[in-house]
A and B are shown apart, each in its own frame.
Chain A
Amino acid sequence: MSIEMKAKSTIEQSNSIEFSGVVYRINDIPGRSIVCSTNLTVSRGETLILLGRSGSGKTTLLRLINRMLLPTSGQVLVEGLPTTEWGPIRLRRGIGYVIQEAGLFPHFTVAENVGLVPELEKWDRARIAARVEEMLRLVGLDPAEFSKRHPRELSGGQRQRVGVARALAADPPILLMDEPFGALDPVTRAELQREFGDLARRLNKTIVFVTHDLREALLLASRIVLLEAGCIVATAAPRDFLRIDHPEVKAFTACLDLDPGASS
């Protein structure tokens, strides 16, 4: 973790991430905003779920946090500092990132993938090796069996576990996840969701998690933010979410009713 981040976090308030009047649009399309004026705070240690259909702007919001995108207007504060003032490299090394296809480096072994950010941060070798082992155990992979494998020798679920281990390796205070379990079969997905839920509770990280799966949201969230066409239309704790009277919420809960596996 960066020194700046630690220093900031002790001084600043309990907000880990804050969107303040954030608008994002692409130059060529002046009329339409990808993200309309957004205000949102994410508290330290919470698991915030961004829920919405494809194209609702949830991934865009995520990418605004680690400065993969910069807001057209307004600002995104990470640990109290606007992303525009963070150097992109520094900022991103302090933020874990997990995406749908895991995005593991095919030419790296599992151990090299997991140890990448510590290595970029110039940790010494013994410390990296110990950390990699610890991370693999944390996500339920036996280091002796998996360290030397390449991503192509893993199942989809195992790859995603490695993706989570890699994101956590340098112990970042923030974790961004973009439909991390979206490409998995339903059984593996349920397994990983359950395990990740336990992990998230133990780790006390600030997690922003994008999904279009309401069940996943209900399972993992401390708070759900529903997006529609780039705007936040509802924010609620999971237990209150289903009671919200909004057409887009109804649209999502309707899918839940249709799904026989959803009750319980």
Chain B
Amino acid sequence: MNTWTFFWDHRADILSATLDHMTLVAIAMAIAILIGVPLGMFIVQRPTLRALSLGIANIFQTIPSLALFGFLIPIPFIGGIGKRTAIVALVLYALLPILRNTYVGLTGIDHAVLEAAEAMGMTSGQILWRVRFPLALAVILAGIRTATVITIGVATIAAAIGAGGLGSFIFRGVALVNDSLLLAGAVPAALLALLADFLLGLLERRLRVL
């Protein structure tokens, strides 16, 4: 009961924190997609770079998120306290699923289809844009979906370095041992994640060809 009245009384704060959170996630995802998808396309034909970039993306994924935020603070230009550092960390986290799915999607295409495309005299650019990419789109989107859900969760921790968002409620709730505060951050974050997962899932099913 208490929690509901708390939610109601602070609805404006919760809403603005939610919007902050969404902005943070949206910016980070946009950057991660702009890096991950082209890089994934680029490494299809380049084994060395592929191993290297997937390896690096993998390493970022294994660093505990709170530690990653901490590591970034002292780095010039991208570091410091605030949103910019948070976005860098979120991008690094989101990169692996996007990069990996782009690569897997582009390479997991029926061999007969690629052979036919080549034998019909399509150039490698035409094969990439008209065959590989449309057929990989559903898999790439699945990676974006995974990355979005992860990012919404990890972004709550970004409050630790002053990036705002729903995490601020959670950190305050933990510090004050106040469940209502904690839930004011956790519930909207969970709902956001579920919503993003659902909507991107719908889109993914529409794009699936077979």
What secondary structure prevails in chain B residues at the interface with A?
helix
Contact B121 A92 (CB under 8 A): yes
Q: Which of A89, A103, A107 is B135 in contact with, Cβ under 8 Å?
A: A107
Number of residues from B at the complex interface, CB < 8 A:
19
Bitwise, A44-67 to B at CB < 8 A (1) or not (0) is 000000000000000000000010
Contact yes or no, B135 A106, CB < 8 A: yes
Contact with A along B188-210 (1 / 0, CB 8 A): 00000000000000000000011
B84 CB to closest chain A CB, in angstroms? Answer: 40
Chain A 92-107 per-residue mask, 1 if CB under 8 angstroms from chain B, else 0: 1101010111111111
Residues of chain A lying within 8 A (CB to CB) of residue B121: 88-93, 117, 120
State in angstroms the CA–CA spacing of A154 and B39 once bound together.
Answer: 36
Q: Mark A139-155, 1 if CB is under 8 A from B, else 0.
A: 00000000000001000
For residue A97, which residues in chain B have a CB less than 8 angstroms away from its CB?
116, 119-120
> Using Cβ atoms and an 8 Å threshold, which residues of chain B touch A103?
110, 112-117
Beyond A68-B119, A89-B121, A92-B121, is A120–B113 a contact (Cβ under 8 Å)? no
What is the CB-to-nearest-CB distance from B130 to chain A, in angstroms, rounded to a whole number? Answer: 8
B120→A99 contact, CB < 8 A:
no
Query: Which applies to chain A's interface (DSSP): helix, strand, loop or mixed?
Result: mixed
- Whether B116 contacts A117 by the Cβ 8 Å rule is no
**Interface membership of A249, Cβ < 8 A:** no
Please determine whether B120 and A92 come into contact, CB atoms closer than 8 angstroms.
yes
Asked if A116 is an interface residue, CB under 8 A from chain B, the answer is yes
Q: Are A104 and B116 neighbours in the complex by a CB distance under 8 Å? A: yes
B67-126 with Cβ < 8 A to chain A: 110, 112-123, 126
Tell me if B131 is interfacial: C-beta within 8 Å of chain A.
Answer: yes
Q: How far is the CA of A105 from the CA of B109 in the complex (A)?
A: 10
Chain A's nearest CB lies how many Å from the CB of B131? Answer: 6
0/1 string, A79-91, CB within 8 A of B gives 1:
0000000001111
Measured CA separation A264–B117 after assembly (Å): 39
List B contacts of A104 (CB < 8 A): 113, 116
What is the CA–CA distance of A66 and B120 in the complex, to the nearest angstrom? 9
9 sampled A-B residue pairs with Cβ under 8 A = A68-B119, A89-B121, A93-B120, A103-B116, A103-B117, A104-B113, A107-B209, A117-B120, A152-B210
Cβ–Cβ < 8 Å partners of B110 in chain A: 101, 103, 106
Say whether A107 contacts B119, CB under 8 Å. Answer: no
Smallest beta-carbon distance A118→chain B, Å = 11
Chain A 242-260 near chain B by CB (<8 Å), digits 1 or 0: 0000000000000000000
Indicate which residue in B116, B122, B123, B131 contacts A99 across the interface (CB closer than 8 Å). B116
Q: A90 — nearest CB in chain B belongs to which residue?
A: B121
Name the residue of chain B whose CB is nearest to the CB of A176. Answer: B119
C-alpha gap A99/B117 in the complex (Å): 11
Give me 12 other A-B pairs in contact (C-beta within 8 A), A106-B110, A107-B134 excluded: A89-B121, A92-B121, A95-B119, A97-B116, A97-B119, A99-B115, A100-B112, A103-B116, A105-B131, A107-B209, A120-B120, A120-B122
